[in-house]
Chain A
């Protein structure tokens, strides 16, 4: 079945440094979604990418969807302590399947 892999598993940065997490699927995705889970919290939807090569920005966050629609990335510019949390990508499985989540990238930002 369709699998979504994420790297790195953990990332520790100094405040102000950039951060990138990568997501790869074994199959072509109709869309990819990104979620953020703060420590002790629940996942919260960030964005959905649908088109091949799509790039979307949310303030310091930049999301990309690969040309082949099999990979995606989330880049955070100049991290802040409020960016701490685990970032998940998720893609729908085969037709009729619910979202499959990657294992997430846990970001720690130290001031």
Chain B
């Protein structure tokens, strides 16, 4: 069974540009979560989608947005990139609900120059 897949694996952008990251959850999982892992800051919660709806949002500015498609895959969009957006962006999926364990993808490493 395929795990959580993310694309691209690496990305280099310049300040002010926009980026779209993609995530495909494990088959049967309806919840998708996005986390930012910047150096030394642990995993910072960004967004949670379940059944196509945004369920919760972390403490990030509005230029971080996303959506979940009918097939439960998800996109994370970041507009007006800033240098401090450089990080590993991890997507995770679960069966749904706050007590379910998360299965993480390998992440997208974003570098903003």
User: CB within 8 Å of B: which residues of A?
Assistant: 30-31, 33, 35, 41-45, 48, 50, 88, 90, 92-93, 95-104
Are the C-beta atoms of B103 and A100 separated by less than 8 Å? no
Q: Which residues of the partner chain A approach B35 to less than 8 Å between Cβ atoms? A: 101
Contact residues in A for B40 (Cβ distance below 8 Å): 103
Q: Is B28 part of the contact surface with A, judged by Cβ < 8 Å?
A: no
The interface size of chain B toward A, counting residues with CB under 8 Å, comes to: 22
Option from B45, B58, B99, B102 in Cβ contact (under 8 Å) with A30: B99
Which B residues are closer than 8 A to A by beta carbons? 33, 35, 40-43, 45, 48, 55-56, 58, 90, 92, 98-99, 101-107
Residues of chain B lying within 8 A (CB to CB) of residue A44: 104
Residue of A nearest to B43 (CB): A101
Report A-chain residues with C-beta under 8 Å of the C-beta of B42.
Answer: 88, 101-104
Contact A96 B103 (CB under 8 A): no
In the bound assembly, the distance between CA atoms of A41 and B40 in angstroms comes to: 15
A101 to B38, CA, bound (A): 13
| B106→A92 contact, CB < 8 A | no
